[in-house]
Amino acid sequence: MPLRQVRVDDQFWNHYTSLVRDVIIPYQRQVLNDELPGVEPSHAFENFRIAAGEAEGEFYGEVFQDSDVAKWLEAVAYSLTTHYDPALEKAADQVIDLIARAQQPDGYLNTFFIGDKADLRWSNLTEDHELYSAGHLIEAAVAYYQATGKDQFLKVVRRYADHIDSVFGSEPEKLKGYPGHQEVELALVKLFQVTKEERYLNLAKYFVNERGQKPSYFDLEYEQCADKKRYRNPREWGLKYSQAHLPVREQTSAEGHAVRAMYLYAAMAELAKETRDAQLAEVCKTLWKSVTQRRMYVTGGIGSQAYGEGFTVDYDLPNDTSYTETCASIGLIFWAQRMLNLEADSRYADVLERALYNGALAGMSLDGKQFFYVNPLEVWPEACANRHDHRHVKTTRQSWFSCACCPPNLARLLASLGQYVYSYGENEVYVHLYMGGKADFALLDTKVQLEQSTDFPWDGKVDVTINPAKKREFTLCLRIPGWCRRPHLSVNGEKLELAPIMEKGYAKITRLWSKGDRVRLVLPMETERIYAHPSARMNAGKVALARGPLVYCLEEIDNGPVLASISLPRQAAFEASFVPDLLGGVTEIRFEGFRTEKPHGDELYTTTPPEQIATSIRGIPYYAWNNRG
């Protein structure tokens, strides 16, 4: 459901949506403009000033630095959609004016390649991120047009898209290339959906279908490059790194860089729906199983290793050296939403929810000013400081990064939160996520308002009030999460049997709805032990704890040193209670467990069995870890 039609008003999520408006967007604007001392320089705005001829100096930053500005503008657009702010709109307009002034006469727009590097355009698609950055500019422009109705930015990116279309394609005079880092594919579909210009949709299809064809464009490009030093990354990563090892329709497993994979798969799912491509949809389902059944962490994190920031092999899910990039979980959310649009199956919403509440949300501190790039499931600070294979794991969140893709990505996700909650068709509406607020939509000739009230994720009781403009028969589809064992459902106090109305994880209630009809869904939240597949050898003898959509963790601040010495008895009972003054208000989990103590002396090895000492254990939601020092 479009963001404009949804208002999130939720006791849990209001903190984050207001944080985006009041803290994150202003903070990131200052960072992008290099106004904060002690924070990693960005230079992103200055790069546009230099490209526009309005400042002296040289480009600074990553080759994809422009994308940080684009993602910030996209977050601004979503924020303006839900909470209009004339001062913020004015600030965004000034940045858009600057971007327009930097655009080249032929439509080209990438500050790294404007000026003395102009002759290098489109010559290293493998690494140079030109199409990636273009995609983020397009997504931002579409969002800003939808938020404000202003078309200056949209005209800028249309000129850029037209330029790209003149360069790439299957025609003899064009380059047969495609992005090293996917992003423009999904953006072009969005641009088509707004403009109805078929060329943009066709270009997106071309980029998807050309990927992985033989001979490899990336290999040919490298062979033809006179200066091999331009290739910054080692070639041994190979074509799997950018999912270019096979044509996408022949791929059966998730490979390579996790974020690139997610952006590709999201675009494939969007194209499959837009073009009714059944074969492409089946490929998406196959890849979905590969990711979620064999290569995903319990938190919804993906990407098992720092080398290549990506996937390895099935069931290789190390907890202490995982990469699980924040952007990868966000990308998984993007993909899950589009799989839901392809097929209303709760398995997609279950993963979306898990990645949102755990894998993505953990990437930001509770005050919105510090961020994780990498989200491990186990941290040993001394090892992180001294072991080469742990160096990518940070023990505290950072204020910013030289490669700052994650902070603005989080901002645009949280600012657009409402668009993930519902979807609807001619005669049915789906509720995918449970959070307080209202949605306004029309089913054919009837306007309907739907209102949710809930204390999710701490309590599983959800009240849904239906307010049609007139009596209307339609189907309300409520997701029954996979983590819920004994749900209860009633309409206006009358209990409904779930089994006869369940379809693909949704309870489908078809009736003549009247204003004020109330549906109550109760999703009991029990603390659950989550067991990994036996092939995930690093999790042998271990369990994860989860309650509702939240995965829990232990911290030394609550439980003392050497967390690995703590064990959970099979018969342990869990006590869950909400603590208002803990981490902004969370439900903690307490239980009685054991701590392994050394039997005597300082021997590293001994034949004497260790002692098991009874101890009280406290667990907190994983997303909130490392917010107390």
- Token readout for 304 is 């098992």
Q: Residue 490 has what pLDDT? A: 98
Q: Nearest Cα to 450, choosing from 463, 467, 433? A: 467
Strand partners for 439: 6, 450
Domain residue spans in the chain? 247-420, 423-522, 527-624
Instruction: Output the CA torsion sign for 622, 365, 305, 285.
Output: positive
For residue 400, name the pLDDT band (cuts at 50, 70, 90). Answer: low
Q: Is the pLDDT of residue 234 over 50?
A: no
Res. 464 pLDDT band, cuts 50 70 90: very high
Average pLDDT over residues 402-427: 87
Burial degree of 313 (CB within 10 A; 0-12, 13-18, 19+):
exposed
Q: Transcribe 126-185 into DSSP letters.
A: TTS-HHHHHHHHHHHHHHHHHHH---HHHHHHHHHHHHHHHHBSSSTTSB----SS--HH
Give the predicted TM-score (pTM) of the model: 0.95
Burial of 236 (0-12, 13-18, 19+ CB in 10 A): exposed
Average of pLDDT values for 17-32?
92
pLDDT of residue 276: 97
Listed as own residue / partner, the contacts of 434-437 with beta carbons closer than 8 Å and 24 or more positions apart are: 434/462, 434/479, 434/521, 434/523, 435/8, 435/10, 435/12, 435/13, 436/8, 436/9, 436/10, 436/11, 436/13, 437/6, 437/7, 437/8, 437/9, 437/10
Q: Would you say 221 and 126 are in contact if contact means Cβ atoms under 8 Å apart?
A: yes
* 159 token code pair: 């000129």
Q: Which residues contact 84 (CB under 8 A, 6 or more apart)?
A: none
Residue 524 CA to residue 527 CA, distance in Å, equals: 10
pLDDT band at 402 (very low <50, low <70, confident <90, very high): low
Residues 509, 477, 502: CA angle, nearest 5 degrees:
70
Quick one: fold of 423-522? Answer: Maltose phosphorylase, domain 3 (2.60.420)
Share of the chain above pLDDT 70, in %: 98
Of the residues 221, 309, 325, 588, which is catalytic? 309
Average pLDDT over residues 234-258: 91
Contact 415, 8 (CB under 8 A): no
Q: Once rounded to an integer, what is the mean pLDDT over residues 20-33? A: 92
Strands 586-597 and 611-621: antiparallel
405 is an active site residue: yes
Average pLDDT of the chain to the nearest whole number: 94
Q: Give just the sign of the alpha carbon dihedral 381, 382, 387, 391.
A: positive
User: For 438-451, what is the mean pLDDT?
Assistant: 95
- State the average pLDDT over residues 63-67: 93
Query: What is residue 7's predicted lDDT score, i.e. its pLDDT?
Result: 96
φ and ψ at residue 217, rounded to 5 degrees: -60, -40
| Residues whose CB is less than 8 angstroms from the CB of residue 133 and which lie 6 or more positions away in sequence, other chains included | 64, 66, 67, 70, 110, 183
What is the spatial distance between Cα 300 and Cα 279, in angstroms, rounded to a whole number?
26
Q: For residue range 591-628, what is the model confidence (pLDDT) as tens digits?
A: 999 999 877 678 888 888 888 999 999 999 999 999 99
pLDDT in the model for residue 133: 97
Model confidence at 435: pLDDT above 90 = yes
CB half-sphere exposure, 33, CA atoms < 13 A: 13
Q: What is the bridge-based pairing of β-strands 544-547 and 550-553?
A: antiparallel
What average pLDDT does this structure show over 369-386? 87
Average pLDDT over residues 429-451: 96
What average pLDDT score do residues 194-214 get?
98
Marked catalytic residue, from 210, 255, 270, 405: 405
- Distance between alpha carbon 19 and the CA centroid of its chain, in Å? 18
597 in active site:
no
Distance CA 576, CA 207 (A): 50
Partners of 479 in the β-ladder? 506
Query: In 3D, which of 557, 555, 620, 618 has the Cα closest to residue 586?
Result: 620
